[in-house]
Chain A
Amino acid sequence: MHYFANPTRFQRLMDILRPWVVGVMLAMLAYGLLAGTVFGPADRLQGESVRILYIHVPSAWMAMFIYVAIAAASFVALVWRHPLALIAARASAPIGAVFTLLALITGSLWGKPTWGTFWVWDGRLTSVLVLFFLYLGYMALWQALEDEEKAGRATSILALVGTVNIPIIKFSVDWWNTLHQPASVVRLDGPTIDPSMLWPLLAMGLAFKAYYVWVLFARMEALMDARRVQAAQLRAAQHAAGGAL
């Protein structure tokens, strides 16, 4: 578990993986976009606007996936005090927040032709909105606490509390939605989906995941560099103090 606690070793691992990650991302993006938006069929009911699904659905998947990844990394950081896990959690949050925002924006753009309005209190959209708030809270707590080590543990506790609450929030919103929404509303993604749409969609999902890993590596590197600079500054300050005594 602590093998990759050495940042240099982890750096090497990232350097090895990076070209593969970028390769998978580009290949899947190319296939997904071409098959989905150029050659793929338009929807019988929703027409061309259905193609936004290839951005919207993978974004929503990533919004959820990254929050769970943050919670898992936070758990590792709390239990085993693994510093890279904490850095991974911290680096993931803004990426997850952007995907969540993307899911919200594409959802409301899709909502305009489908529902005739940009925002409907649809169960899924509302859940994603609440998830977006959870991301904002997690990032705000990182910002608010000055002692980085304490901030790391506090945000980890928050991420875990948020995660055990997600199923409850999701259930309550779905329940509330069935209570208030008329059943005739067209759902964003129905239960059945044609294979000609499913494969490009899965490819886009994979491309988004690879993109996440790629950006995550870059953000983790930046955070690790910041830590190195801080450590160097601390050493310099200690040298100065040692000289003064």
Chain B
Amino acid sequence: MLTLDSVAIRRGDKLLLTGVSFALRAGEAVHLKAANGVGKSSLLRAVAELLPVAAGSIAHQNAHGPAEAADQVALLDEQPGLKASESLRGNLTSLSILLSGRTPGAGELDAVADRLGLAPLFDSPVRYFSTGQRRRAVLARLLLSARTLWLLDEPYTGLDQAGRALLDTLIAEHRNAGGAVLMTHHGDVPDMSVIDLMGHVPQVAPDTGDDGERW
């Protein structure tokens, strides 16, 4: 589903990560671990093809062969991606059409809102949601986008106990259905292979002088 081959990530002038290689197959999940500022979020954005890699390659495959990131990736990051003045129903309808290209069926959105425990707020503008409710609403994107590869950047942030359990269930269901998950999180996550990115932080090169300098 996803293959990274000696990927290097750069932000501005700074090389954050080098030599990141791994593969992710259907049903698998990978938990990326590293300290703050190492470049986990940047790596996820690179997998989503929003950020060009500094070196190496990232390849997406679906059941039929090579695929576009924008056809199989669902990205959940710290930004909500919801319009505050629109109702949850309006937001989810637009998101569903934009991401999956499909108009959701009659009871489909209600079922998703119900699942996330947001049914009573379904017709209220997102502006009135609490932080936790907003984070739950964002999870709806994963369910409605119909994408196979979930990229989750600190997905537990802002969720209460029940919300975290819900997310675990969603992830398990997604994997059983043949999906894959790539996730960053500071704590431990059961049942995922862990990749420690600290081993990929480039060693500080000694000052080689001007003659070896190439930007």
Residues of A near any B CB (own CB < 8 A): 5-8, 83, 147-150, 227-228, 230-232, 234-235, 238-239, 242, 245
Contacting residues of chain B (176-213) with chain A, CB-CB under 8 angstroms: 203-205, 207, 210-211, 213
Majority DSSP secondary structure for residues of B touching A:
loop
Q: Cβ of B213 and Cβ of A6 under 8 Å apart?
A: yes
In the bound complex, residues from chain A placing their C-beta under 8 Å from that of B205 are 235
Q: Cβ of A7 and Cβ of B12 under 8 Å apart?
A: no
B214 at the interface (CB under 8 A from A): yes
In the bound complex, residues from chain A placing their C-beta under 8 Å from that of B213 are 6-8, 228
Q: Cβ of B13 and Cβ of A7 under 8 Å apart?
A: no
Q: Cβ of B211 and Cβ of A5 under 8 Å apart?
A: no
Q: Cβ of A83 and Cβ of B12 under 8 Å apart?
A: no
Q: A227-B215, A230-B13 are in contact. Are A242 and B210 (CB under 8 A)?
A: no
- 14 residue pairs of the A-B complex, CB under 8 angstroms, read A5-B214, A6-B213, A7-B210, A8-B211, A8-B213, A148-B12, A228-B210, A228-B213, A234-B14, A235-B204, A235-B207, A238-B14, A238-B204, A242-B203
Q: 9 closest A-B pairs (Cβ-Cβ)?
A: A83-B215, A238-B204, A8-B210, A147-B12, A242-B204, A149-B12, A239-B204, A8-B211, A6-B214
CA distance A6 to B214 in the complex (A): 5
In the bound complex, residues from chain B placing their C-beta under 8 Å from that of A5 are 214-215
The bracket for how many chain B residues form the interface is 10 to 19
Residues of B near any A CB (own CB < 8 A): 12-14, 35, 203-205, 207, 210-211, 213-215
Q: A6-B214, A7-B210, A83-B215 are in contact. Are A149 and B204 (CB under 8 A)?
A: no
CA distance A228 to B211 in the complex (A): 12
CA distance A8 to B213 in the complex (A): 8
In the bound complex, residues from chain A placing their C-beta under 8 Å from that of B35 are 245
Min CB gap B151→A, angstroms: 22
In the bound complex, residues from chain B placing their C-beta under 8 Å from that of A231 are 13
Q: A7-B210, A235-B207, A242-B204 are in contact. Are A149 and B13 (CB under 8 A)?
A: yes
Min CB gap B190→A, angstroms: 28
In the bound complex, residues from chain B placing their C-beta under 8 Å from that of A148 are 12-13
CA distance A232 to B215 in the complex (A): 13
In the bound complex, residues from chain B placing their C-beta under 8 Å from that of A230 are 13
Q: B206's closest neighbor in chain A, by CB? A: A235
Which of B35, B204, B210 has the most chain A CB within a 10 Å cutoff? B204
CA distance A238 to B38 in the complex (A): 12
In the bound complex, residues from chain B placing their C-beta under 8 Å from that of A8 are 210-211, 213
In the bound complex, residues from chain B placing their C-beta under 8 Å from that of A150 are 12
Additional 17 contacts, C-beta under 8 A, given A6-B213, A238-B14, A242-B203: A5-B214, A5-B215, A6-B214, A7-B210, A7-B215, A148-B12, A148-B13, A149-B12, A150-B12, A228-B210, A228-B213, A231-B13, A232-B207, A234-B13, A235-B204, A235-B207, A245-B35
CA distance A169 to B35 in the complex (A): 52
Q: B215's closest neighbor in chain A, by CB? A: A83
In the bound complex, residues from chain B placing their C-beta under 8 Å from that of A228 are 210, 213
In the bound complex, residues from chain A placing their C-beta under 8 Å from that of B204 are 235, 238-239, 242
In the bound complex, residues from chain A placing their C-beta under 8 Å from that of B203 are 242
CA distance A60 to B205 in the complex (A): 48
In the bound complex, residues from chain B placing their C-beta under 8 Å from that of A239 are 204
In the bound complex, residues from chain B placing their C-beta under 8 Å from that of A235 are 204-205, 207
In the bound complex, residues from chain B placing their C-beta under 8 Å from that of A227 are 215
CA distance A231 to B207 in the complex (A): 10
CA distance A245 to B198 in the complex (A): 11
Min CB gap B34→A, angstroms: 12
In the bound complex, residues from chain A placing their C-beta under 8 Å from that of B215 are 5, 7, 83, 227
CA distance A231 to B205 in the complex (A): 12
